[in-house]
């Protein structure tokens, strides 16, 4: 009995909830810095200057959060945790406003988010792996399985309607494929596959063609020379005829002068 009475009773540690609160605030602080790094294009923990278009209140809050705080005493732990939480809560609306501005300035991103929000329920059902049989998943009305998607989203009537609508397109596609198959024989005949076997014959024909080209070039050279000589001869005869015509005109003029003198 004396031993039992002398045994000190263990009292709960009052600092344990405060430590848990400090850990939670530290985790929130880390997550907040990650969001600020992504949305504000700078790391608040390293003290890098913010962008030029950043709001002053964002920079002030980021610098206040990045400054290392002194370790509070046991009596002031609750006040320090509460102030840190309020600092985080003040920075959350600023990040939300910046996110809205980014989305508003990027219309493509805004459209993508709207489309994702419209198709979010269907995208959640794209997982084909069956969920574990637990009380939570069994009671969920939208389990992410293909069977649930086909049963809830696409009924038999809906599938039949879709098939009836795309049937003409399938028939036209089949007709085009048949035409392409028939045209393939004309565009790529079997003779083209024998080109490699006909290569020796083509080489012989190429050699004969090259020899004929040389002979034709020599014949063309001779013909050009003959034409040049003929041209020179014709020009020479033309000059002779012109000179002979002048001589005849001169002789005719002298004859006329002599006749006039004889008449006088």
Domain end, chosen from 190, 209, 226, is at 190
DSSP state of 40: S
Question: What count of other Cβ atoms lies within 10 Å of the Cβ of residue 22?
Answer: 17
Range of the domain at 182: 142-190
Average pLDDT, integer, range 38-60: 49
- Determine, yes or no, domain membership for 158: yes
- Determine, yes or no, domain membership for 166: yes
- Determine, yes or no, domain membership for 8: no
Average pLDDT, integer, range 81-92: 65
Are 37 and 113 members of one domain? yes
* pLDDT at position 204: 87
Total domains present in the chain: 2
Q: Are 36 and 95 in contact (CB under 8 A)?
A: yes
How many residues can be counted in the chain? 264
- Determine, yes or no, domain membership for 33: yes
Are 28 and 98 members of one domain? yes
DSSP state of 42: S
- Determine, yes or no, domain membership for 173: yes
User: Rounded to 5, what percent of the chain is helix, strand, coil?
Assistant: 75, 0, 25
Are 112 and 146 members of one domain? no
Rounded Cα gap, residues 65 and 84, in angstroms: 8
Are 103 and 35 members of one domain? yes
- Determine, yes or no, domain membership for 224: no
**Binning pLDDT at 50, 70 and 90, where does residue 40 land?**
low
Nearest to 87 by CA among 26, 40, 41, 39: 26
Helical ranges in the chain per DSSP H: 2-6, 15-39, 56-66, 77-105, 107-118, 120-123, 135-139, 146-152, 156-187, 199-263
Domain end, chosen from 161, 190, 219, is at 190
Tens of pLDDT along 137-169? 444 444 455 666 666 667 777 778 888 888 888
* pLDDT at position 246: 93
Q: Are 50 and 98 in contact (CB under 8 A)?
A: no
Are 63 and 98 members of one domain? yes
Give the global pTM. Answer: 0.25
Tens of pLDDT along 177-203? 888 887 887 777 777 777 788 788 888
Reduce the DSSP state of residue 125 to 3 states and report it: coil
- % of the chain at pLDDT higher than 70: 58
Are 85 and 156 members of one domain? no
């Amino acid at each position: 009995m004396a031993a039992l009475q002398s045994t000190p009773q263990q009292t709960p540690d009052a600092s344990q909830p405060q430590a848990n609160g400090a850990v939670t605030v530290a985790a929130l602080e880390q997550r907040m810095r990650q969001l600020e790094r992504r949305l504000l294009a700078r790391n608040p923990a390293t003290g890098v200057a913010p962008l030029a278009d950043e709001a002053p209140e964002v920079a002030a809050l980021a610098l206040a959060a990045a400054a290392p705080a002194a370790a509070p005493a046991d009596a002031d732990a609750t006040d320090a945790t509460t102030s840190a939480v309020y600092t985080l809560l003040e920075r959350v609306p600023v990040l939300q406003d910046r996110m809205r501005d980014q989305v508003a300035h990027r219309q493509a991103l805004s459209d993508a988010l709207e489309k994702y929000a419209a198709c979010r329920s269907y995208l959640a059902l794209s997982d084909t792996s069956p969920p574990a049989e637990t009380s939570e998943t069994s009671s969920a009305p939208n389990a992410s399985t293909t069977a649930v998607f086909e049963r809830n989203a696409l009924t038999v009537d809906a599938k039949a309607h879709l098939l009836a609508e795309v049937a003409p397109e399938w028939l036209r596609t089949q007709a085009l494929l048949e035409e392409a198959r028939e045209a393939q024989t004309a565009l790529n005949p079997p003779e083209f596959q024998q080109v490699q076997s006909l290569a020796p014959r083509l080489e012989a024909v190429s050699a004969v063609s090259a020899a004929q080209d040389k002979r034709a070039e020599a014949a063309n050279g001779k013909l050009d020379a003959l034409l040049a000589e003929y041209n020179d001869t014709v020009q020479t005869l033309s000059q002779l005829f012109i000179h002979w015509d002048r001589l005849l005109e001169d002789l005719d003029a002298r004859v006329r002068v002599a006749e006039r003198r004889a008449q006088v």
